[in-house]
Amino acid sequence: MHLCVISPGYPTSRTIDFVFVDQLCRAIAERGIRVTVIAPQSITKSIFRNVPIVRRRSIIPVSDGKFITLYRPFYITLGNHNRLKRFNTKAFSKSVLRAFTIIRQKPDVCYGHFWSAAHSIFPIAKQNNIPLFVSSGEEVITHHLDYSKSEIRDIVGYVSGVISVSTNNKNENIEAGLVSEKNSIVVPNAIDTRLFHKKNKSELRQKYGYSDSDYIIAFVGQFTERKGAKRLSEALKLLNDRSIKALFMGAGGDIPDYEEILLHGTVPHDLLADYLNCADVFVLPTLNEGCSNAIIEAMACGLPIISSDLPFNYDILNMDNSIMLDPHDINAIANSIEYLKNNPTVRQEMSKNALSDASQLTLASRAKKVIEYLEAVIL
């Protein structure tokens, strides 16, 4: 099978955007599937955000002679204003078309990562009679609002199947009229166990200069209202306990200002597991997700989770591996952090359960399920 994946982005030497797409593509390629990725790069963003401009075509070695062919055609964006959204979408789609036309061996399947990417390849897939699948992981499903009813009917009528990252995501797709129950499945996000696994906490704390006596909270995500970095910071200040330290790994304008922050800023993806393994608890009071990679990665490192009691978490979190709460409730966040600090036995049990649950959410397993679903539908 030759699989063509269309993605809104791809990681570079200095960025980790869409690293989960790269990880899944590698896992699929390792199973003997030929993988071609089209991930257009915005020249505008590269210039104004200092993002590296990469080669328009490159070969990414995977293992044992297997590889990914990556196309990164250029296009221009004109900002995030709603009036300019249509222009950006058309520019993205044209760049996808340019890349597709130079692929020597046309793919057997097109796989759009998110609805927007699937829509960009839809006319080409239909013209060439290539089955089209959608990987849906958006935190909120709004694609049906961006196109006319006839445009939505066209793509919905052609799409062969939708792979959602959570039951909540699948239900939102069904409610939006983008998919039916019979041609959709749920396959949660997954982790690369070669990177994310439990390590020696004491050794890593010594390596990074952290004290064994500290109680360390980890947060991974953008510093935004949605992710809740500031709410976590406020909860920590309420506790007024200088032995509670924090690792805020991310970036954004909603800056946490807790005094006992050990680390503040972005972390290279290959070092993220080290810092997670330095922590005692992972906290993410997020308001919306497709399925949080950050939570699964923290679970794979053996961290108890404090996060939102909302449907997008229900496929990966439960009362045995987490405390789920109202993400707006700063007092509840503070009380949960203090409760786990004062109850190491509970913390250890949650850690054990998190490791067990994360062991079922591996990239190899996810790649296998995705491939089996594609083959079952098209063969």
pLDDT digits (tens, 9 = 90+) for 323-375: 999 999 999 999 999 999 999 999 999 999 999 999 999 999 999 999 999 99
What is the DSSP secondary-structure string of 227-292?
TTHHHHHHHHHHHT-TTEEEEEE---SS----TTEEEEE---HHHHHHHHHH-SEEEE--S--SS-
Distance of alpha carbon 379 from the chain centroid: 29
Pair 22, 72 in one domain: yes
pTM (two decimals): 0.90
Taking a C-beta distance cutoff of 8 angstroms, is the pair 106, 124 a contact?
no
Residue 343 pLDDT = 97
Residue 174 pLDDT = 95
Residue 14 pLDDT = 74
d(CA 197, CA 214): 21
Pair 158, 12 in one domain: yes
Distance of alpha carbon 150 from the chain centroid: 30
Place of tokens 């006839």: 150
Pair 214, 280 in one domain: yes
Tens of pLDDT, residues 249-295? 999 999 999 999 999 999 988 899 999 999 999 999 999 999 999 99
Pair 349, 265 in one domain: yes
Is it the case that residue 121 has pLDDT exceeding 80? yes
Pair 369, 341 in one domain: no
Is it the case that residue 304 has pLDDT exceeding 70? yes
Pair 347, 372 in one domain: no
Average pLDDT, the chain: 94
Q: Is residue 146 part of a domain?
A: yes
Residue 335: give its domain's CATH number. 3.40.50.2000
Place of tokens 């704390």: 205
Domain count, the chain: 2
Q: Where are the beta strands (DSSP E) in 206-289?
A: 215-220, 244-249, 261-265, 281-284
Residue 17 pLDDT = 81
Residue 6 phi, psi dihedral angles, 5° rounding: -110, 125
Pair 206, 342 in one domain: yes
Pair 349, 366 in one domain: no
* Confidence category of residue 78, pLDDT binned at 50, 70, 90: confident
Pair 226, 303 in one domain: yes
Is it the case that residue 248 has pLDDT exceeding 70? yes
Q: Is residue 112 part of a domain?
A: yes
Residue, of 107 and 139, whose pLDDT is higher:
107
Pair 185, 289 in one domain: no
Pair 212, 336 in one domain: yes
Pair 207, 137 in one domain: no
Is it the case that residue 62 has pLDDT exceeding 70? yes
Average pLDDT over residues 158-168: 96
Q: Is residue 195 part of a domain?
A: no
* Confidence category of residue 81, pLDDT binned at 50, 70, 90: low
Q: Residue 129: which domain range? A: 2-190+362-378
